[in-house]
Every structure is written in structure tokens, then in C-alpha cells.
Amino acid sequence: MKAQTRNAAINTVLLLVLVTAAWQLLYWSFGDAALRSPAQTLAYTVKLFSGEMIWPHLRETMAAFAVALLLAAVIGLSIGFTLGYNRFAADVFEPMLVALYSIPKITLYPILLLMFGLGMPAKVAFGAIHGIIPIALFTMNAVRNVRVVLIKTGLVLNLGRGEMVRSILFPAALPEIFTGLRVGFSLTLIGTLLGEMFASQRGLGYLLMNAIGLHNIDLLMALTTILIVFAATASIVLLHYDRKIHARL
């Protein structure tokens, strides 16, 4: 196990070195007009975090993301459990969910804006619709694939529906549900940021759009780096737990 952890660490470091090297090469070939070097970006990021400007935007994005993720998880899990429990409903709705999953959800953004108006609710809704479907699909399949003997045991013990979900279906389906939540986490983040990019007056997505408009490459590179580091770190941590939970069963 220990050697495995060490190997994983070595691989991550190697990957980081590779990415940084590629970035530096890109910088050398395109020059100052297009992008900044890793060192310059790091320096600017440090400056950004020691200043006042970024904090309200960061808080806004985090708040929108947290609410969106909560909504996506609650709605996604309820849809997933309902469909996982009810074979026929799953037959009816699964193809529809899969079809919804494949559409470019960006096209729906104007409709959401018209429904919710500019600001926080539209952002949250946009983030949530990105996350709901994968969470629902993973949960549905997880519940459906719970071993029959476990469900029969529950039936023999005369468990009610709530009790059944709480003490049998949820624990048994947990690994797959966690995978769904992990995928939902990243998609919700992307959705929230996209929402901020199109129509918002605050948040990191707004700053990003602003930086494009003003051709502020320092800010652009720093923001892109911050977002990628956050997303990658979160997803690596989640992936680690994901594998741990899967290994336990």
C-alpha cells in the first residue's frame, strides 16, 4: 500500500513537471502578447490573493457553487432513488435523462435567464442542471444493481420504504452514488462558472469575461490557473475517496 501511495505521488509530481514544461514551451513560442510564463502567473496570483479585489468575487462564486451543488445532490439523489426503486418509471425516464445529458446545456441558458433574471438564482440553476442528471443516472443504476438478497432481507424484516432506503439501499449503493456525486461536483462547478461568464456582475466567471474584454492577460492566466488548480485538487481528493469506498466493498 505504501509503495502504491509513493508511486502515485511520483506520478503526480511527474505530471506537474510535464504540464509546467509544456506551458513554458508555449510561452516561449507565443510570447508576452498571448500568455504569461508559469513563474509570472504564480507571482501575479500571489499578488491577487494578497489584494482586496478578488475576495468578494471568490466568495460569490463559492456561495453560488455551494448552493448549486446542494440542489443538484438533493434533486439528483431523489430522482435517482425514485427511478432506481421503480423499474417502469426508470424505463420511461432513463432515455430522456440520457438525451438531456448529451445536449449542450449552454443553449438553455437564455431560457433560464428569462425565467430567473440576472444574478444569483440563474447562476445557481445553471450550475444545478449540469449536476442533477449525472447524479440521478449514477444513483439510479447504483440502486438498481443492489444485490437482490439484500433487498429480500429487508422485505423479510418488513422494513418500510424509508427504512429500506436508509438502512439497505443507501449503504449498499454508496460507492456508485459517490462516483455520481464526484462527477456531479465537477459538472456543477463548470455550470456555475459558465453561468457567471454569460450574465453576471460578480464572481470568478465574470472576472474572466472582463479580463478577456480588457485583454488583461495577467488576470486571465491567474484566474485560469486558480480555477484549474481548485478543480483538479478537488477532483483528485474525491477520486481518492471514491477508490477507497469502492475498495472497501
Partner 1 sequence: MTRAGLWRIALVTGFAGAIEVLCLTGTIDKITMQAPHRMLVDLAKMIASGSMNAAIAKTLTNAVLAFLPAIAVGILTAVALFPFKRVRNVLDPLFATYYAIPVFAFYPLLIVMLGLGDAPQILLGFMLAVVAVIINTLNGLDRVPRVLIKTARVNRMGPLATAFGVMLPSAAPYVLTGVKLAVAYSLIGIIGAEFIMSRGGMGYEISFAYNNFDNAIMYPLILLILVVSIGVNTLLGLWEKRLMLRKSGR
Sign of CA dihedral 118, 189, 68, 74: positive
Contact call for residues 142 and 180 (beta carbons, < 8 A)? yes
| Segment 204 to 223, residues that bind partner 1, using CB under 8 A | 208-209, 211-212, 215, 217, 220-221, 223
* Contact positions with partner 1 (CB under 8 A) in 119-158: none
Under the binding rule (CB under 8 A), the answer on residue 185 touching partner 1 is yes
36: number of CA atoms within 13 Å, CB side?
Answer: 19
Cα dihedral across residues 40, 209, 223, 241: positive or negative:
negative
178 interacts with partner 1 by CB under 8 A: no
Contact residue for partner 1 among 77, 143, 165, 197 (CB under 8 A): 197
Instruction: Using alpha carbons, select from 145, 137, 139 the residue that is nearest to residue 95.
Output: 137
21, 46, 157, 239: which one binds partner 1 (CB under 8 A): 239
Among 6, 53, 95, 167, binds partner 1 (CB under 8 A): 95
Helices (H), the chain: 2-30, 38-50, 54-85, 87-102, 109-116, 120-144, 148-156, 161-164, 170-198, 204-214, 217-248
Residue 201 makes contact with partner 1 by CB under 8 A: no
Tell which positions 31-90 bind partner 1, by CB under 8 A: 33-35, 88
Q: Which residues bind partner 1 (CB under 8 A)?
A: 7-8, 11-12, 14-15, 18-19, 30, 33-35, 88, 91-93, 95-96, 98-99, 102-111, 113-115, 183, 185-187, 189-190, 193-194, 197-198, 208-209, 211-212, 215, 217, 220-221, 223-224, 227-228, 231-232, 234-236, 239
